[in-house]
Amino acid sequence: MKLCKTHDRNLSYQVTGDINSISEIWDAFLPQDHHLQSRFLKILPDSGLEDVKYHFLLIYHSGTCIGLASFQEFRFHSGHYDSSFLNSGPLSLIRQILICHETGILICGNLFHLNEEGFYFSDSRNRSLILEVSRDLERRLKPGALLLKDIQEPLEQEGLKEHRFRTFDQDLLMELKLEADWLGFDDYMASLGKKYRQRGKKILEAASSLEFRILEEDEISQNKAVMENLYQQVRQRQAIRIGSLNGNYFLEMKKAKKDAFEIRAWFDENKKMLAFSSHFLHPNKVREVHYIGFDSEANEKHLLYFNILFDGIRAGIDHKELKIQFGRTGFDAKASAGAVPNSIFHYFRLKRGLPTITFNYMNRALENKEKPDWKNRNPFKEPALEILQTEA
């Protein structure tokens, strides 16, 4: 346990890489069942993920503990992105340098989960102290970038400007509100326009021969290697794939979250798992479709990805939930199912030089890869048209 003093003489923090060593004081400081409770933070270290180190901070003002923060130090390299975008434009001139280059990204929050702010202060008026604390930790670890992820309420502009933080609000979470009159999945299907309803029937038919079931903890343990392979097949399709999970992650999550976490899986006639999706069941009646995996070849035949989306909607309706959160990829497919984007809010700062140049061009290249027409998709019937047809 190391004591660190910031530039503010009254502000200091203790830091450790082992949450177990401070779990008693850590958990006592937090509200019950808070997402930063140590039993939840242990999941990632216990999973043995690659390229990630952990830093847990107890924050003090004038010797009194006033807050805490969870950081992940992530080692970013060419295995975490599709390098084909480096083949043209200005970055092609330094392509080999970039591919061989590694940099650290220091993240306050959870790289692998949505909407989990990485810090907590007993007095919310102290929230902006995270800027000074994170900057001091950055000075000691010297990463290429610092990210304050999933910020729920804005931090003080003066502090952001002083510490040279930039705002990033282009990270989109696709969400579907479940209508109160959808009493079953058939009601959702009936609400779709003719083209999307016909397409939906074909999607469901494509997977009708598969066996579906929700896995118990022992079944997750037995299938974790298969799940890791299916997850990696999906991950490799993504242009940016920061971070990599393994089969242990899903098992440890089930152990910690119990009934609030589900693994939903599809099997062929030979009992071979072809696809799975992981779901968080939040207490506010929101269902989050977390990480998924599927066999790429079987996806062509059974339309597994689209059936995973439909299964999330069906489960939400059956459990009388209010909203489905689908995550931040596959915008076109999710918009076709009725999901709409909601911006996620982050602050970040970059080390001057190569990290800044790389981020700017990478961000621009990825924006150009996205199809803009997904934003205009609306699969539902137009109420106004229905009224006009009825009157006619």
CA dist 183 → 202, 226, 311, 317, 325 (Å): 22, 35, 15, 7, 19
65/57 Cα distance (integer angstroms): 10
Using only C-alpha atoms, the chain has a radius of gyration, in whole angstroms, of: 23
The angle at the Cα of 282, spanning 277 to 286, to the nearest 5 degrees, equals: 80
Q: Which residues of 285-305 are buried (b: 16+ CB within 10 A; e: fewer)?
A: ebbbbbbbbbbeebbeebbbb
The pLDDT tens digits for 356-385 are 555 665 555 555 555 566 777 899 987 644
The pLDDT tens digits for 314-331 are 999 999 999 999 987 788
Provide φ and ψ at 96, rounded to 5°.
-65, -35
Which residues does residue 61 pair with via DSSP β-bridges, in sequence order?
11, 64
Which is more confidently placed, 357 or 214?
Answer: 214
For strand 52-61 and strand 11-16, is the pairing parallel, antiparallel, or unpaired?
Answer: antiparallel
pTM of the model: 0.87
253/112 Cα distance (integer angstroms): 12
Show the 3-state SS of the chain.
CEEEECCCCCEEEEEECCHHHHHHHHHHHCCCCCCCCHHHHCHHHHHCCCCEEEEEEEEEECCEEEEEEEEEEEEECHHHECHHHHHCCHHHHHHHHHHHCCEEEEEEECCCCCCCECEEECCHHHCCHHHHHHHHHHHHHCCCEEEECCCCCCCCHHHHHHCCCEEEEEEEEEEEECCCCCCCHHHHHHCECHHHHHHHHHHHHHCCCCEEEECCHHHHHHHHHHHHHHHHHHHCCCCECCCCCCHHHHHHHHHHHHHHEEEEEEECCCCCEEEEEEEEEECCCEEEEEEEEECHHHHHHHCHHHHHHHHHHHHHHHCCCCEEEEECCCHHHHHHCCCEEEEEEEEEEECCCHHHHHHHHHHHHHHHHCCHHHHHCCCECCHHHHHHHHHC
Token readout for 51 is 């390229």
CB 273 within 8 A of CB 227: yes
Residue 353 has pLDDT above 70, yes or no: no
For strand 2-5 and strand 273-282, is the pairing parallel, antiparallel, or unpaired?
Answer: unpaired
Show the domains of the chain with their CATH numbers. Answer: 2-164 (3.40.630), 173-342 (3.40.630.30)
| Segment among 107-116, 296-305, 311-320, 347-356 with least mean pLDDT | 347-356
The pLDDT tens digits for 155-212 are 999 999 999 999 876 678 899 999 999 999 999 999 999 999 999 999 999 999 999 9
325/38 Cα distance (integer angstroms): 25
Residue 119 has pLDDT above 50, yes or no: yes
The pLDDT tens digits for 239-281 are 776 778 999 999 999 999 999 999 999 999 999 999 999 999 9
Residue in 197, 221, 170, 199 with CA at minimum distance from that of residue 343? 170
Residue 129 has pLDDT above 90, yes or no: yes
CB 133 within 8 A of CB 121: no
How many residues are present in the chain?
Answer: 392
CB 199 within 8 A of CB 205: no
